[in-house]
Amino acid sequence: AQKVTQAQTEISVVEKEDVTLDCVYETRDTTYYLFWYKQPPSGELVFLIRRNSFDEQNEISGRYSWNFQKSTSSFNFTITASQVVDSAVYFCALSEAGTASKLTFGTGTRLQVTL
């Protein structure tokens, strides 16, 4: 069965600090996708990134970067030079082939960025 673990329940940082959100997943499939979503205080879920199981290249988008390591079943998310607007709950999710692409979410990490 597929499972996503986000062990960090809550992280507090001061603005401009770098922060890494951890995500560990479990799956028996060789074909799967990993996602990160952001849920700001307003409540909507905002898509951040998708990565397939055959592409282990790290990705950088502005201040955001993602590190995918199949050897450790991890898909970690780093925010560089954090800003107050980054304050949100971040969810890691997994979608396996053959599951009609449903998303299995982790429990989320609440990030609080203060001045």
Partner 1 sequence: DSGVTQTPKHLITATGQRVTLRCSPRSGDLSVYWYQQSLDQGLQFLIQYYNGEERAKGNILERFSAQQFPDLHSELNLSSLELGDSALYFCASSVAIGVGYEQFFGPGTRLTVL
Q: Which is nearer to partner 1, 71 or 101 (CB)?
A: 101
Alpha-carbon torsion, ordered 67, 83, 49, 102, to 10 deg:
110
Q: Which of 90, 91, 111, 113 binds partner 1 (CB under 8 A)?
A: 91
Give CA–CA dist 25/2, Å, rounded: 7
Does 3 help bind partner 1 (rule: CB under 8 A)? no
Kindly identify the residues of this chain, within the stretch 4-43, that bind partner 1 according to CB under 8 A: 31-33, 35, 37, 43
Give CA–CA dist 60/83, Å, rounded: 17
Does 105 help bind partner 1 (rule: CB under 8 A)? yes
Q: Is 72 left (phi over 0), alpha (psi -120 to 50) or beta?
A: alpha
Residues that bind partner 1 (CB under 8 A): 31-33, 35, 37, 43-47, 50, 52, 91, 95-108
